Amino acid sequence: MIAALVAGLLAGYGIAVPVGAVGTYLVAVTARTSLRVGACAALGIATADGLYALIAAAGGTALVPLLEPVVLPLRWAAGAVLIVLAARSAFTAIAQYRARNAAGQGEEGTGLSAGRAYLGFLGITLMNPMTVIYFAALVLGSRSAADTGYLEQTVFVVAAFAASASWQLFLAGGGALLGRALTGGRGRLITTLASSTLIAALAVHLLAQAA
């Protein structure tokens, strides 16, 4: 039981802590919206990690050969989606900044609801099949899934979800603090453009690996 708990925590933090394009986008979205929206987005990411942990615990490394044919197509799709999100985020920020200056109004909302944030980040994260390969190889690679009891599998999955959720919520909290610090329209615009550029660069790197 303790071994499954530790393995789940290590696996969850291991896949969540390296901040990539999705983590960067999470911080940027929270900075532009609210902690509530960012928290829901963070839970969307953690839900995807938990689902992949469940798949790995249930099927083990036997699933890896089945995923290999779709790894590259999904990687291309994930990279393309991230580039679109980066471009949309930048264009929206520029349009809102110009609109505020023209009308002389305060900050406007982005129109992103908590539910949409959850589903959107869940979908982005689910497009990464490397997550389930990571869980299977890291934790179940040395033993068969049949040798692991249901209770240990449950503890592993819950621990992995909790670890991922805690880190993603930490990133969302950082985004909320960033949004409060950058109360001016120009500061938010600069931050959004910087994050969009970083997301696009990470997406291009992802596509280059798939090529």
Cα–Cα distances in angstroms (integers) from residue 100 to residues 83, 90, 109, 189, 190, in the given order: 26, 15, 11, 12, 15
pLDDT tens digit sequence for 42-66: 999 999 988 888 877 776 555 556 6
Cα–Cα distances in angstroms (integers) from residue 157 to residues 7, 10, 63, 123, in the given order: 10, 11, 17, 19
- Closest to 164 measured CA to CA, from 29, 58, 49, 32: 49
Token look-up 């949309």 returns 88
Token look-up 């900050």 returns 107
**Burial class for 36, CB neighbours closer than 10 Å (0-12, 13-18, 19+):** middle
**Mean pLDDT of all residues in 121-139:** 71
Domains of the chain, by residue range, sit at: 2-79+112-183
Answer yes or no: are the C-beta atoms of 28 and 89 closer than 8 Å: yes
What pTM was estimated for this model as a whole? 0.70
DSSP one-letter code for 142? T
Answer yes or no: are the C-beta atoms of 168 and 45 closer than 8 Å: yes
pLDDT tens digit sequence for 139-196: 544 444 444 577 877 888 898 899 999 999 998 998 888 776 665 566 667 766 776 7
Cα 193 to Cα 146: distance, rounded to the nearest angstrom: 49
Answer yes or no: are the C-beta atoms of 39 and 169 closer than 8 Å: yes
